[in-house]
Amino acid sequence: MLDIIQIPVLTDNYIYLLHDSDSGETAVVDPAVAEPVLAVLKQKGWQLTYILNTHHHSDHVGGNVELKRQTGCQIIASEFDKHRIPSVDRGIKEHDVINLGTHSAQVIATAGHTSGHIVYYFAEDNALFCGDTLFVMGCGRLFEGSAAELWQSLQKLKALPPKTRVYCAHEYTQANGRFALTVEPDNIALQEKMIQVNELRANGLPTVPSTIGEELATNPFLRDLSSTLQAKFKGIAPVELFAKLRRLKDSF
């Protein structure tokens, strides 16, 4: 069993610590800052083996150098981003496999939010660490890639098993849900999801992780076949529908 610890940092970021008890190996996904990670490592008695970065933005790599300095861990990131992420030891690309003790993650390229964005999919553990590509009821902004690129990236994630847990890097869920209700107000699953989300946040609890199944039912960026969205945006191809929704969300 892969131990997963979710660490809230900054305003709305999540860092994830992954630990394999059989080997003792530990990885951290997207450490925005080092101190909270070091504190949990000390508390658990774990030694950091790897940093797994999804993309180069500072709120995902800000703790890299200090963590490597204090633990001697290896930094793993997209080959495309090796020049933009400091101290990368291993550049990886789509279809590469990362081993964490007895657990393994498939690397999936998800250009769109950034050109070199990647995600880590632990199939046997039903866990997807997707950075800023997919959020609960949302998706990343188009900072470097095109709508067509991000749409294609999301098709890869849509195809994962419905039970796959979605560990995204930000607590954006309430705002994403409010937007989703403006474009698909009659979606019962979405309405029920928002009741749960609002209750969780009112109690200071995270809304992450979600699952791929939940996202297929509630996330408008994955729901181009929805009858409501089809009626609202008649005659628009799926990728154009996605681009339209992304523009609407940007100005929401």
Name the pTM for this structure.
0.96
| Distance from C-alpha of 59 to C-alpha of 14, rounded to nearest angstrom | 10
Phi/psi of residue 99, nearest 5 degrees = -100, 130
pLDDT given at position 234: 85
Q: Is there a catalytic annotation at residue 30?
A: no
| Distance from C-alpha of 145 to C-alpha of 246, rounded to nearest angstrom | 13
Q: Which CATH number is 143's domain given?
A: 3.60.15.10
| Distance from C-alpha of 175 to C-alpha of 157, rounded to nearest angstrom | 22
Q: Is there a catalytic annotation at residue 113?
A: yes
* Catalytic member of 19, 56, 103, 113: 113
**Domain housing 72:** 2-250
* Catalytic member of 20, 30, 59, 125: 59
pLDDT in tens, the chain (252 residues): 899 999 999 999 999 999 999 999 999 999 999 999 999 999 999 999 999 999 999 999 999 999 999 999 999 999 999 999 989 999 999 999 999 999 999 999 999 999 999 999 999 999 999 999 999 999 999 999 999 999 999 999 999 999 999 999 999 999 999 999 999 999 999 999 999 999 999 999 999 999 999 999 999 999 988 888 988 888 789 999 999 999 999 999
pLDDT given at position 233: 87
Instruction: Classify 105 as helix, strand or coil.
Output: strand
E strand residue ranges, the chain: 2-9, 13-20, 26-29, 50-52, 74-78, 90-92, 97-100, 103-109, 118-122, 127-131, 134-135, 138-139, 165-168, 210-211
For the chain, what is the domain count? Answer: 1
Q: Is there a catalytic annotation at residue 56?
A: no
Q: Is there a catalytic annotation at residue 55?
A: yes
* Catalytic member of 30, 125, 132, 224: 132
pLDDT given at position 16: 98
* Catalytic member of 55, 56, 103, 117: 55
Q: Are strands 138-139 and 134-135 parallel, antiparallel or unpaired?
A: antiparallel
pLDDT given at position 150: 97
Q: Is there a catalytic annotation at residue 19?
A: no
* Catalytic member of 56, 57, 103, 117: 57
pLDDT given at position 225: 83
